[in-house]
Structure 1
């Protein structure tokens, strides 16, 4: 009987997938297993945050079985007083770029261009013979190193276990070392081309032995350069032709066209004295400029450089949820998506969850916290954007905000709870 029950569940899941529209389409919440009345609780909470001046504005999208059951904008999002935020406004998605670049890498994996456990130095020689930081002198940023026990692999980069740290937002030692060498974090217009910056990064020490720990860092910027080396195209061109055009992501860019700059949402920050919200100034966080989407000269940051809209990114997530296919076009094989959305870091700790190839993966422990199903894939961005896809419930959900620092970042967790409480 149990086998029959499991078979019935599998058949039902397949039929539900076949019934999905080819592209995301708007639909009635009640007809798609969501309570319209309960969805209004999202409105109330976001409006409360705006009323209390905790955020300026937000856009939110929920997709169920390929149908858009919620797509709204709240508050204001532009420096012009009173200009309302719109559902098609464009946000700096920062680290949400990583999942897209990781997808590009896995597309090349499917073409036989490399193996996951190949050393990155096979394709970017600057990473040969890596060294690990031993001692650091804070007075002049000098340091000593010890040889790494092994080479950095492409899998290490996809899982952030390589030992590469982050510029501007990483550990104090590595921030200083990177700053001295002119290594960017992808959040500012940069005079170097991607190739030159990544080659320089390859000569600098790792913060720990490869494969030893999870350290969130510039790994995906390195992967962006790998895409360029293996494809013979710039990362910008590759993403445009191979991902954005097939997915009809018409508002996702490294360099935002002049014609769309009026839709770029202003980044806000908290006034240190009044705690009120004011537009970001480039003195807000040393080494980070929010003007990078309009001043990109060729440093295409695979880890942080893109701007996008909630609906563009929802299409990308739906492709992952669909096991690699969207609008009749297959970008990734089903098996590849399964590899990307499984635990790839073993017993290495990462809070309540694990990490796949480009995504955080919800574990049983993580599911107990917020209600996301086991196996959900998720991440977010520096300026307050967040997303997840839930394969069990066939849900894609996104909440986009543009703010740093963010004293009320709990809104992301509240949004998750609000989505699931509305699911029938």
Structure 2
């Protein structure tokens, strides 16, 4: 696809001040004409370019899921194998009677958490989608610094698991769906099951074979890194405070967030799926990864946005579009969106890899207007710019 329609769709948001810049593409198996608009940093004025580094946030989740499935193929563990022997902190944890129950009002765990539960996010730990302070469990999650976010916590993997293991579960394994926690725990599982560092595993099983040379948990070249911003009103952006040591891998690398990457590396990941695994995974594993794995009961018990599962399913580590959301990815697309304004969806039927990379922090778990404009351009429809302040229009 020519980059001009995407550039035309995103340019108004840069001109209005709602975006500093973006790099985006709708790539086929061979073509990848990249659209670059705006700047990496409003202070320096350095232009966005194809080699700009982005914090891709939750786009980490599908990548870690691929490595988990590669280990299933190797026999490191089985999909339906309990994880208790690797993650004893989570073995036999009690389950809240209801999501709003006091923390002592619990019932026994009905069965162990399995590898499949972690990949499908049906394991029982995760984000509670409700206003802060609605439920006692939210307050405890915040007290323990276990909530999601793009910045790493100042403690180790083992400390993170120890803290998580003091909480009751949100629901029984396989009885609901909760966001984010599956990726976090999956990353810890991969490390303990193999005895290897998570980044080393990703490098050996995914980044190296696919030539994703710019993807890591650290920043290989700080001069190429785009500044992250948060919205500060219509047409205004404020630079996000970056955590100390932001150039280096964090103390605890996460299976849910934290990777830094480029548009070409994201395209390489999507093309691997289009090619049926390209030696990284077998075709059967790609099919499982990209197929909706959730039952109706799991969707009904989801602690997530009302109506989300009317148009979406969840495969392994990422969403599957079960119907076309206009504007949005085509039906059958697999991928996810990151909280710092990133998106990577592979349209398996259409043979396209669609990537949108910004560093504008999302204000809510719904697409921003500039993302809508990107999807309209990808679909070949006229783009009409709206500012974030006009979202309800």
- Aligned partner of 1:262 in structure 2 is 223
- Aligned partner of 1:314 in structure 2 is 267
The answer to whether residue 295 in structure 2 is matched with residue 338 in structure 1 is no
The answer to whether residue 379 in structure 2 is matched with residue 420 in structure 1 is yes
- Aligned partner of 1:96 in structure 2 is 59
Q: TM-score, normalised by structure 1?
A: 0.80
Q: Which runs of 5+ in 1 are unaligned?
A: 1-33, 282-288
Length, aligned pairs only: 367
**Structure number with larger C-alpha Rg:** 1
User: 1:421 is paired with a residue of what secondary structure?
Assistant: coil
> How far apart are 1:323 and its partner, in Å?
1.0
* Aligned equivalents of 1:391, 1:195: Cα separation in 2: 38
1:32-47 equivalent positions in 2, closer than 5 A:
34=1, 36=2, 39-47=3-11
1:16-415 equivalent positions in 2, closer than 5 A:
34=1, 36=2, 39-68=3-32, 70-134=33-97, 143-166=104-127, 172=133, 173=135, 174-183=137-146, 185=148, 187-257=150-220, 260-271=221-232, 276-281=236-241, 293-325=246-278, 330-347=279-296, 348-349=298-299, 350-363=309-322, 366-367=323-324, 369-370=326-327, 372-406=329-363, 409-415=368-374
* Aligned equivalents of 1:278, 1:182: Cα separation in 2: 24
Answer 1 or 2: which has greater helix percent.
Answer: 1
Query: What's the CA shift string for 1:345-369, capped at 9, x where partnerless?
Result: 0224324111111121121xx2263
CA contact (8 A) 1:293 1:306 kept: no
Q: TM-score, normalised by structure 2?
A: 0.86
* Aligned equivalents of 2:160, 2:106: Cα separation in 1: 21
* Aligned equivalents of 1:146, 1:384: Cα separation in 2: 39
- Asked which structure has the greater RCO (Cα within 8 Å, sep 6+), the reply is 2
> How far apart are 1:311 and its partner, in Å?
0.8
How has the CA–CA distance of structure 1 residues 358 and 237 changed in structure 2, closer, same or farther, with 3 Å as cutoff? Answer: same
Q: Which runs of 5+ in 2 are unaligned?
A: 300-308, 382-393
Tell me the C-alpha RMSD between the 2 structures. Answer: 2.6
- Aligned partner of 1:19 in structure 2 is none
CA contact (8 A) 1:137 1:143 kept: no
CA contact (8 A) 2:96 2:103 kept: no
How has the CA–CA distance of structure 1 residues 410 and 181 changed in structure 2, closer, same or farther, with 3 Å as cutoff? Answer: same
1:6-17 equivalent positions in 2, closer than 5 A:
none
Shifted more, 184-193 versus 46-55: the winner is 184-193
- Aligned partner of 1:21 in structure 2 is none
